[in-house]
Amino acid sequence: MIGGRLLRIGAGAASLLGAATVERLRGTPAEGSQLPRRLRITLERLGPTFVKFGQTLSLRRDLLPDTWLAELRRLQDHVAPFPGAEARHAVEVALGRPVEQVFGAFETEPMAAASIAQVHRARLPDGRAVIVKIRRPGIRVQIDRDMHALVGIGRLILVLAPRLQRYQPLRIVDEIWANLRKEADFRQEARSIRRFGEAFRGWPGLNIPDVIDDLYAEAVLVQEMSGGLGIGHPSIDGPRLAQVLIDAYLHQFFVVGFFHGDPHPGNLFVMPDGRLCFHDFGLVGYLDGRTRRSLALYLQAFVNKDAAWMLDAAVDLGLLGEPIDRPAFIRGIEEILSDYAALPLKDWSLAEAVLRVARLGSGENFVVPHNLVVLMRALYLVESALRTLDPEFKVLDTLLARGGEMMEGVLRGDAAASAFTRLKTEAALTAQDLPGMIATWLHRAQREGGGPLLLMRREGLESLEAHLDRTGNRLALAMIALGLYVAASLLMLHSAGPRVFGDLPLLALFGYALALWLSFRLVRAVARSGRL
């Protein structure tokens, strides 16, 4: 079973590599390439795990051209629902009670089915309408099995095509694997829902459907049912809701520090009372205090059209890796800003500007961190939703008006308060210990002959020593293998020693075998290190 699955995955990867080689030999232009379509079809044939893999890969605007992204976004969860009897059994196993004790009514026919889970309507004993999200049986095992195989194939491809290392494919696979496992754990989604509900408690324009207490587990999630109109419906108050949406995201980015990462039209709707409702918290992004501060500075630099400031903020944010050619990057950012200067304010796109700056560093062996990938996706979708709600909405005007508030939010955050508290504590402790520290320093100076005693500490020498040790071992291994190849070739040439298989020198064959084994170990060690 596992061997057959591995063969299917390997055959799919080999087919794509073969097609890429043919197109390269023929000189096929990028706009005429069939590779994006072939990749999508291959992922669909490999099943749910690879469909989710492709959907997650479609977020990587920092890595893939628009034609590839457009094709990957066509991936759909065309998965048949699993039987209602299995769904009932999964609920009973996860919650530890019969379905009849948990719900007053439970619909065995699912209202929606996807690769990770399917959703059923239900009603609690007190009459409240809820939805029940049930994980597909065996999906966790399938994810781990398929991603293990993908990692193995990725390592083999890096050995055959080491130039691909600049894109850090194994790191990307590991990130996607980790996030697929999070998405398959509904306890994580329940915590996210609760955090959003707490963050927006008291906001009159927003609604976050709550999780039902004690009715969620790793494989089952029960949540309040909500419904309403789509954000493109003509009867809603679009301009008001656009302001609600951008206020909510500024609060998420700069005050809360985590955000809904998938605000596409299917996950946003307007309730009958006019509130904007968020749905599906499987994909969320996190921004620590330093990242929030860097993002606020980046936005300030963008609205003030300061290229040098944008470059510094982009490096701090993680969009660009150092070292960089500063004058060249400033010229690139100035070109981006000049393009926007020719557009009306309503057509300015912060998401597009973030992407274009990130792509300036595409040749620097650097990949944008996953939290910023989710951020870029959220920015694109938010801007699209804003234009759906109000085609004349000027994002830049709102950023200009709220710039000061954003910085205040960053400085008022819990991290900033904690930093000031630590500073006061450390200063008090230092003041208490300072006399003794000075006395010790003077005593040592007197003991050393009266001169000042300066101590220098060099950090990182242990890792450097280990790196040099590994490098030396690999060089020695390579020299030994080379010597064996030469010696075996001489033995083969002179037919020295005993023979096997007719006329083949035994010692030469042994030398070749040992040299090949050492070469394999060397290649495997280099592949595992990720550095050639």
The per-residue pLDDT for range 59-100, each reduced to its tens digit, is 676 667 778 888 887 776 667 788 989 999 999 999 999 999
In a domain, 488, yes or no: yes
In a domain, 452, yes or no: no
In a domain, 337, yes or no: yes
Supply the pLDDT for residue 405: 63
Query: Mean per-residue pLDDT for 322-350?
Result: 82
Q: Are residues 244 and 178 in the same domain?
A: no
Supply the pLDDT for residue 323: 75
Using a pLDDT cut of 70, give the percent of the chain over it.
Answer: 79
Q: Are residues 315 and 173 in the same domain?
A: no
Asked whether the predicted pLDDT for residue 407 surpasses 70, the reply is: no
Average pLDDT over the chain, rounded to an integer? 79
Asked whether the predicted pLDDT for residue 279 surpasses 70, the reply is: yes
Q: Are residues 300 and 174 in the same domain?
A: no
Q: Using only C-alpha atoms, what is the Rg of the chain?
A: 29
In a domain, 56, yes or no: yes
Greater confidence (462 vs 156) lies with 156
pLDDT in tens, 281-326: 888 888 888 888 888 888 888 888 889 998 988 888 888 877 788 8
Top-confidence range, 47-56, 123-132, 286-295, 470-479: 123-132
Query: Mean per-residue pLDDT for 146-153?
Result: 82
Supply the pLDDT for residue 406: 60
Q: Are residues 387 and 509 in the same domain?
A: no
Query: Mean per-residue pLDDT for 103-115?
Result: 89
In a domain, 284, yes or no: yes
Cα–Cα distance, 181 to 172 (Å, whole number): 14
Q: Are residues 408 and 497 in the same domain?
A: no
> Token pair of 311, please?
């470059």
**Other beta carbons within 10 Å of 531:** 9
Point out the domain boundary residue: 412, 430, 455. Answer: 412
Q: Which of 31-45, 102-116, 297-311, 454-468 has the lowest mean pLDDT?
A: 454-468
Greater confidence (289 vs 525) lies with 289
Q: Are residues 384 and 485 in the same domain?
A: no
pLDDT in tens, 220-234: 999 999 888 888 888
- What confidence tier does 191 reach under pLDDT thresholds 50, 70, 90? very high
Q: Are residues 474 and 376 in the same domain?
A: no
In a domain, 313, yes or no: yes
- What confidence tier does 128 reach under pLDDT thresholds 50, 70, 90? very high
**Other beta carbons within 10 Å of 427:** 10
252-256 long-range contacts (CB < 8 A, ≥24 apart) are 252/199, 253/287, 253/292, 253/295, 254/292, 254/295, 254/296, 254/406, 254/409, 254/410, 255/199, 255/409, 255/412, 255/413, 256/195, 256/199
Query: Mean per-residue pLDDT for 121-133?
Result: 93
Residue numbers of the domain that contains 495: 467-529
Asked whether the predicted pLDDT for residue 143 surpasses 80, the reply is: yes
Q: Are residues 263 and 379 in the same domain?
A: yes
Supply the pLDDT for residue 410: 58
Supply the pLDDT for residue 2: 56
Closest by alpha carbon to 114, among 286, 283, 284?
A: 283
Query: Mean per-residue pLDDT for 37-56?
Result: 81
Q: Are residues 169 and 29 in the same domain?
A: yes
28 CB-side CA count, 13 A = 13
What is the b/e burial string over 451-484, where b = at least 16 CB atoms within 10 angstroms of the residue's CB?
eeeeeeeeeeeeeeeeeeeeeeeeeeeeeebeeb
In a domain, 107, yes or no: no
Supply the pLDDT for residue 50: 80
Supply the pLDDT for residue 134: 93
AA identity, residue 159: V
Q: Which of 116-120, 328-332, 419-423 has the lowest mean pLDDT?
A: 419-423
Q: Are residues 399 and 489 in the same domain?
A: no
Supply the pLDDT for residue 365: 43
Question: How many folded domains does the chain comprise?
Answer: 3
Q: Are residues 161 and 48 in the same domain?
A: yes
- What confidence tier does 425 reach under pLDDT thresholds 50, 70, 90? low
Top-confidence range, 178-187, 237-246, 395-404: 237-246
Q: Are residues 397 and 302 in the same domain?
A: yes
The answer to whether residue 262 is catalytic is yes
Query: Mean per-residue pLDDT for 454-462?
Result: 55
Top-confidence range, 47-61, 95-109, 169-183, 251-265: 95-109
What does the DSSP 8-state code read for residue 306? Answer: -
Catalytic residue from among 62, 262, 397, 503: 262
Supply the pLDDT for residue 316: 86
In a domain, 357, yes or no: yes
